[in-house]
Chains A and B, each alone.
Chain A
Amino acid sequence: MKLPRILAISKKQFQTLRHDKRTLALMLIAPILAMVVFGYAFGTGNKHAKVMVINQDCGATAQKIIDHFDTDTLSITYNNDTAAAKQSVRNGNAVAAIIFPPSFTADSHPVGPRPPQGAHLELYLDSTEAQQAPLVSSQIATALQDYAKDQEAVSAFAVDTGYAFPAAKNATFIDSFLPGIMAFAVTLFTILLTLLAFVGERTSGTMDRLRITPVTETEIVLGYELAFGIIAAIQASLMLLVATLAYHVLVVGSIWLAALIVILVAVDAQSLGILLSAAAQREGQAVQFLPIIIFPVFLLSGIFVPLQSLPDWLRPLAYILPPTWGIQGLRDVMLRGWEISQIWPILLVLLSFAIVFSYLSIVGLKRARN
């Protein structure tokens, strides 16, 4: 394996773009366009937000309120340990922890004079789950109201909200959406361009010409991956730039770590594209593969629909899509400010996908020499 040959392959990709201005424009503008369009078009209608309920109430009021929660909207797990519950919110295992203190019934049905603050319950919220966090707040408000309607002498309730990720306390839909659309756009365009490039190499006969030279399949694949990794990083930076300037999108964590994830997502998409290109005879056929890739990624990878909302039988499918991991990783980094020590499992998964797919595409290219 020789570096200059790998670099030659990468450089060729950029030279092609220099002469092919239309593709260049598509690559730079389309992801931003996608972000703008989808950013406004989606954003509601989620279910099954995971919440931990810690009911320490000595009376029965808390349970009555809990019974008012819509179990379709919230999927409730009971717990006795407040600290552990908050930890699982911070780990991303639940969107919120709702804590009813021991005095809840007593405070809400005062025998003597009302306590001035009313009855308090504590809400510990992961606001970076920008689609589900508001569900939890509104569910609590509704349940409290419903309960109050049924009862006569009830004191005011108060909700003390705490945030799992204080820096992201005002996260909105676009904040959690940006990582999704970044991973999605990079996946889409990388697969598209890879498919076209490789089918083009084959139909134009340049692949034959490459095979006659000393360049190896490994060098070809690595050269392409280098080029598309760089292109993906440029795309992601542009999207980040527009998102922060135009939408004031929140980026809490390290940009570099986010860039690394985007590059890994691109390499995954790229090697998948090479694999797919083997099945297409012409460019037109290659394009037909796109829907097969796009729809599952669009619907299953967590861009719009949280993974918890997926039916159980579909969820495993989500986990074999590299963008699912990429999106989770990007959200963890950009919104929650997680560091490498926390997201290394995601990096490892993305890297494994890259290694396995690259290996398979190298084997595929070698087998085409028959």
Chain B
Amino acid sequence: MTDRVVTFHSVRKLYGSFQALSGLSFSINKGELYGLIGPNGAGKTTAIRVLTGLNRHSSGDVTVLGHQPQDPKLRPLLGYMPQETALYQDLSVEENLRFFGKLYDIPAVELNRRVNDLLAFVDLEKWRSHVITELSGGMRHRASLAAALIPKPRLLVLDEPTVGVDPELRANFWQRFSEMQRDGTTILITTHYMDEAMRCDRVGLINHGQLVIEGAPAQLIHDANVSNLEEVFLKLAKREAPQ
């Protein structure tokens, strides 16, 4: 039980009368890189918003690092990169990073170090004093990832972090994720790229707010008797509503 970082048990989330999550259950182990995949509107972002405490679930149980999602004690332990850029458009890249860093009570010297390190990592050193509106779409995504990494979180939640990022940087990102994983960080990532899903320890495929199948990518391919993960996806995640 102690090595479970995230547990979802029969979680429902209603938006009005619409069920975005309809009894979702899954769990993530400590130090795992867990990929959440599924069609548009499957409920990936909704699951993440429930996990991070941004939205309250309607029923079921959610535990994150031993806390309820809305527990303030969870906040310093969590890093989150939303699906949209979610940075202050009129602040520079560096100002954004420093601002969020200060909210985590990071001491000035340490914050300097982290800001410089992260700017180098996302390759935005030259753009550090440009405001977000002056960046390209992919650059904004990189800045947003840097902001999520500022707190050095125990659990890192990334909602489609590599959308619009060029192949070279995408490879860098994944290398960084692996490094962080080695340092003990648990990572939850959503993606529509199957090659990225292949790099996860385990993958959960969700559709219509429910878990369809879960397991190591190779295992899923083997069990479905197909040749790659994309086929698993296409075979199991049908668009029409389940009966």
Contact = CB atoms under 8 A, between A and B. Distances in A.
Contacts of B103: 5, 8, 210, 213-215
Interface stretch (B52-60, B163-171, B178-186): B52-60
Contacts of A370: 55-56
3 interchain residue pairs of minimum CB distance? A205-B86, A8-B102, A213-B103
Given A204-B89, A369-B53, A370-B56, A209 B80 contact: yes
A209 B147 contact: yes
A211 B82 CA distance: 12
Contact of B102 (A4, A211, A369): A4
A204 B144 CA distance: 12
A15 B102 CA distance: 15
Question: Which of A12, A208, A209 is the most central at the interface, judged by chain B CB atoms within 10 Å of its CB?
Answer: A209
B90 A16 contact: yes
Contacts of A12: 88, 91, 95, 99
B105 interface: yes
B102 A5 contact: yes
B143 interface: no
Contacts of A204: 84-89
B87 to A, nearest CB: 7
| Chain B interface extent, by class | 20 to 34
A16 B53 CA distance: 28
Given A12-B99, A370-B56, A214 B82 contact: no
A205 B84 contact: yes
A15 B90 CA distance: 8
B75 A214 contact: yes
A212 B104 CA distance: 10
Given A208-B54, A208-B82, A213 B92 contact: no
A16 B87 CA distance: 12
B82 A213 contact: no
B86 A206 contact: yes
Given A8-B103, A209-B147, A15 B95 contact: yes
A205 B54 contact: no
B100 A209 contact: yes
A213 B75 contact: yes
B212 to A, nearest CB: 27
Nearest to A200: B89
B91 A4 contact: no
B41 interface: no
B135 interface: no
Contacts of A212: 52-54, 75, 78-80
Interface in A191-212: 204-206, 208-212
Given A212-B54, A214-B72, A370-B55, A20 B90 contact: yes
B46 interface: no
B105 A16 contact: no
A16 B78 contact: no
B86 A208 contact: yes
20 contacts: A4-B105, A5-B103, A8-B103, A12-B88, A12-B99, A15-B91, A16-B91, A19-B92, A204-B85, A204-B87, A204-B89, A206-B88, A209-B82, A209-B86, A212-B75, A212-B79, A212-B80, A214-B75, A369-B53, A370-B55
B151 interface: yes
B100 A213 contact: yes
Contacts of B84: 204-205
B91 A369 contact: no
Nearest to A16: B90
Given A12-B91, A208-B82, A214 B100 contact: no
Contacts of B104: 213-214
Nearest to A201: B88
A11 B100 CA distance: 12
B137 interface: no
A25 to B, nearest CB: 14
A77 B38 CA distance: 80
A5 B105 contact: yes
B70 A369 contact: yes
Interface string B131-171: 10000000000000001000100000000000000000000
B54 A206 contact: no
Contacts of B80: 208-209, 212
Interface in B104-127: 104-105
A212 B153 CA distance: 11
Contacts of A209: 80, 82, 86-87, 100, 147
Contacts of B56: 369-370
Contacts of A11: 99
A370 B79 CA distance: 19
Nearest to A220: B103
Interface string A5-36: 10010011001100110000000000000000
B16 to A, nearest CB: 13
A4 B80 CA distance: 22
A237 B76 CA distance: 41
Contacts of B78: 212
Contacts of A149: none
A19 B52 CA distance: 31
A16 B88 contact: yes
A210 B75 CA distance: 10
A183 B95 CA distance: 33
